[in-house]
Structure 1
Amino acid sequence: MSLRLMLLSEFRSTPGGYETTIDEDVAVLMQTLLGETILILDAPTQEPLLSALLSEDERDEPDDPTLKILLPSMSSDPGEASNLRALTEDALRTLKTERLQIIGRKLAELAASESRTFTIEREDVWQWLSGLNDLRLVLAGRLEVSAPGDTEYWYERAAALLAHDSAKPRKISAEELVGLVFVLVSWWQDSLLQAVQEGDTASNL
């Protein structure tokens, strides 16, 4: 993939919700990541409550590293963690999948239109924030980001990539692409949260 400017605009609080603009290439990358994550989550087909009632009393931690990130243990005690996972994992898989699907549907609608600008309805904003956080965690796991210094490193790498002279195109590695998307998703999530907080402050004045 050749590097060129990828655009995400800041979210703006509007009467109808939270408005932003997204570059087509970024939207495609996010849709791909959403699809991969939803596939890994593999939400159960049974209703979560019924599944919890009928399921086993204990469940082991998943082997998949992405699932370990998205569905971490809820207790440091192995036995208690196993019991809690049996009770909650199916419901959490369903909830996280539904959140990602909300984001995916909005990006699919955008792809079908000529506009690159869209609005997140206020009733969906916390689903978006949670879904974007899950995507950020998945990307951080792939990059082995575990400390603030690791995040700063990728922010600096992304800034250098985006500042690259477009007249001198270069190939971008798979790791650089993941790092760039990690930074973009993190920044977008922070921008949306800030817009929500500013909107709440303005409405209370």
Structure 2
Amino acid sequence: MAGLFKPARHGGASLTLDPVEASILRSLTVQMLELLGPGDEPAEDDDPLAHLFAEGPSKPPEDPALARLFPDAYGEGEDAEEYSAEFRRFTENDLRTRKRDDALALIRSIDSADVDRKARPVLRLGAEDCKHWLGALNDLRLTLGTRLELTEDPEEAESLYRLPDDDPRKPLMMAYLWLGGLQETLLEVLTR
């Protein structure tokens, strides 16, 4: 896998991907969009203020990956569940929309990329696109990390880094590590 972010001439970042990398990244992002579910687009005659103040779900998602993407806002405690439910009702819809927007921006960037002499997609991202990419890469890594059941235990994480080739988790782990490299190099470019 070749693609890592580099500074672009006029600001932003550039990324040259192998066609297989582009396909993998696009596929993972589409799968995450399916996990997030469709957005609620208001009808033309809907009141914009009503949409703005629409209430979302009050219970945490049952899917562990979605629960990681939309965690409770309050930890443990006597009223934590009630406060988290109230917070979720008024924030989760907007958060889902932002996560969908980030993922769609990533897909659009790949789909509209120029192609170099070796038929590799070459992406040139402006500042706004970079923000979307950072959000989408983070969400992809959180989702994969949850599916891999990664914890903060260093010994457990180390064992996942050395999975045998026939382990069904190996491709997810390789994608997780690659996405981490993309995220790290994009942050480096943006903080220079």
What is the TM-score when the length of structure 2 is the normalising length? 0.81
Name the counterpart of 1:146. 151
Greater helix proportion: 1
* Residue 190 (structure 1) shift: 0.5
Residue 142 (structure 2) pairs with residue 137 (structure 1): yes
Q: Deviations over 1:19-41 (max 9, x none)?
A: 12212112111111111111111
Name the counterpart of 1:195. 189
What is the TM-score when the length of structure 1 is the normalising length? 0.77
Name the counterpart of 2:105. 102
Kindly tell me: are residues 70 and 111 of structure 1, through their superposed partners in 2, closer, same or farther at Cα, counting changes over 3 Å?
Answer: farther
Q: Deviations over 1:29-85 (max 9, x none)?
A: 1111111111111143145963463436x6111111111011111112000000011
Residue 55 of structure 2 contacts residue 89 of structure 2 at CA under 8 Å; is this kept in 1? yes
Name the counterpart of 2:61. 62
Name the counterpart of 2:19. 24
* Large movers: runs of 4+ above 6 Å: none
* Stretches of structure 2 lacking an aligned partner (at least 5 in a row): 43-47
The CA distance in 1 between the partners of 2:49 and 2:184, in whole Å, is 33
Local SS of the residue matching 2:124 = strand
| Percentage identity across paired residues of the two chains | 24
Name the counterpart of 2:127. 122
Name the counterpart of 2:179. 185
* CA RMSD across the alignment: 2.6
The CA distance in 1 between the partners of 2:30 and 2:69, in whole Å, is 15
* Stretches of structure 1 lacking an aligned partner (at least 5 in a row): 1-5, 162-170, 199-205
* Residue 101 (structure 1) shift: 0.5
Kindly tell me: are residues 153 and 22 of structure 1, through their superposed partners in 2, closer, same or farther at Cα, counting changes over 3 Å?
Answer: farther
Kindly tell me: are residues 118 and 81 of structure 1, through their superposed partners in 2, closer, same or farther at Cα, counting changes over 3 Å?
Answer: same
